[in-house]
Amino acid sequence: MKYIKEHVPTVVLADDETHIRMMMRVVLARAGFQILAEASNGNEAVERCRESKPGIVLLDINMPVLNGDEALRKIVSDNPGVVVIMLTSVSDSLTVSRCIELGAANYLRKDTPVQEIAARVLQTWKDSHTEPGGAE
């Protein structure tokens, strides 16, 4: 966990389901992430990202006001280099492809085991910071 201690990844959590945000807050905090803000819809997610400039955004797709893929487009445009990871129960190939094309660094299904989600978030963040042309 040396990498984490030296570079604490900061996170905005966006999901309209409170229990998912609570669970992810606990899981990610245990893994060494710092949670900067939470959002319960796409618009809030865009605003929280503008305000807090996170390193990582965990973004649901089916949310009120503004859905996740539209929020993704705005977040990536507003925050170059941010690592956006979709965390959603939507898993049709068109949606997955669209989000990856729009700039999502990873796409995780909500039925993935919780510890695996934390590991994949961490790995995605590391990958984004070690690739030439990646974030930072």
Which segment (1-9, 48-56, 65-73, 105-113) binds other proteins by CB under 8 A?
Answer: 105-113
Residue number with CB closer to other proteins (52 or 103): 103
Among 5, 6, 80, 101, binds other proteins (CB under 8 A): 101
Q: Is 127 in the site for other proteins (CB under 8 A)?
A: yes
Q: Evaluate the CA torsion angle 79, 31, 105, 47 in order and state its sign.
A: negative
Among 8, 97, 114, 119, binds other proteins (CB under 8 A): 97
Q: Evaluate the CA torsion angle 105, 109, 114, 115 in order and state its sign.
A: negative
Among 1, 80, 130, 132, binds other proteins (CB under 8 A): 132
In which order are the strands placed within the sheet that holds 56-59? 34-39, 10-14, 56-59, 83-88, 106-109
Among 57, 58, 105, 122, binds other proteins (CB under 8 A): 105
Helix (H, G, I), strand (E, B) or coil at 104: coil
- Shortest Å distance, C-beta 101 to other proteins: 8
What is the Rg, in whole angstroms, of the alpha carbon atoms belonging to the chain? 13
Count the Cβ atoms, other than its own, within 10 Å of residue 5. 8
Give the residues lining the site for other proteins (CB under 8 A): 91-97, 100-101, 105-109, 112, 127, 131-133
